[in-house]
Amino acid sequence: MKLRPRRAWHLRDFILLTALMAVGIWFLRQPLGDIISIGLHDEEQSHIFLAPLVAIYLLWLRRTRMRYVMVQPSLVGPLVVVLGWLLSWWGFHSGTQIAWHGGAVAVLLGILLSLTGLTPLQIMGPVFAVLVFVLPIPGEIRHRIAYPMQELATTVTHSMLELIGVVAVRSGNVLIINGEQVAVGEACNGMRMVFALGLVVYAFAFGSPFKPSTRIILLGLSPFIAILCNVIRLVPTSMIFGYGTVDAAERFHDLAGWIMLGLALLILMGVLRLNRWLEFPVTSLRLASQ
């Protein structure tokens, strides 16, 4: 589906691409603006702003491959633009948020492919794949994930508190400590940590020349490690809520979130060391291409 042979980029090509992107963003300002608004106002969707940073980081690591991306007009791009526009239109009128947002992102991708063909996807797939995290998680999926995590967080936190001798009474997903109610399951279900850590691990996995099997292990372990770290954070947080002040507990909760992110990465590094100690190969001999 090629229209013209490949050739090097000229200034007019960059101007044309910028103009087409600007037009696309203007016509899609409502779904794109809605994505930004959700990321700003919903704490559990704050990973939306982390995804572009991870994409930029992975693109920078693969910057030498940019010379292979030539001007190669292709009909694939307009086809993606049309399909993305129809998907976004259908998502808006049917109330399907993921389709409304996803179609808008697909249109912008199609604009790029109109000038370059499929080459960028072929040589820098992980850069584009991570942009899926730009799309807000639909409410139904969030609820199906959040409720089991609330139950798990409350159960494990309650057990840990009893193990260390702290008296805590459980009522649903609420713990009563020293007469104070602590809604650990609702306020600290760990969803933010799961998605944020998942993105950081994605950047780590595809930013190093790991074998595909190693990447699968790292990405597969990230949600379980995030849940573990969240519980580690919840135990002292619950105690501060019960025996300290609300302000102190909230400050500790926020600070501990960053500390737990570092702890999670240390655990993943330990997994890699364990694999090396067991003499399982974890890296490829060449730079990762996927």
pLDDT of residue 184: 64
Q: What is the rounded CA–CA span in Å between residue 108 and residue 81?
A: 7
Q: What is the pLDDT of residues 208-237, one digit of tens each?
A: 888 888 888 888 888 788 778 888 888 888
Q: What is the pLDDT of residues 125-147, one digit of tens each?
A: 999 999 898 998 887 777 777 67
Q: Is 186 exposed, middle or buried (0-12, 13-18, 19+ CB in 10 A)?
A: middle
Question: Cα separations (Å) of 232 from 54, 133, 190, 228, 237?
Answer: 26, 26, 11, 6, 9
Query: What is the biggest distance separating any 2 CA atoms in the chain, rounded to whole angstroms?
Result: 74
Domain ranges of the chain: 11-132, 140-277
Q: What is the rounded CA–CA span in Å between residue 174 and residue 99?
A: 35
Q: Is 140 exposed, middle or buried (0-12, 13-18, 19+ CB in 10 A)?
A: exposed
pLDDT of residue 18: 94
Q: What is the pLDDT of residues 103-120, one digit of tens each?
A: 999 999 999 999 999 999
Name every residue whose Cβ is closer than 8 Å to that of residue 75 and which is 6 or more positions away in sequence: 1, 2, 3
Q: What are phi and psi of 73, to 5 degrees?
A: -50, 135
Question: Cα separations (Å) of 116 from 23, 129, 182, 248, 289?
Answer: 18, 17, 54, 53, 19
List the chain residues with pLDDT less than 70.
Answer: 1-5, 146, 184-192, 278-290
Percentage above 70 pLDDT, the chain: 90
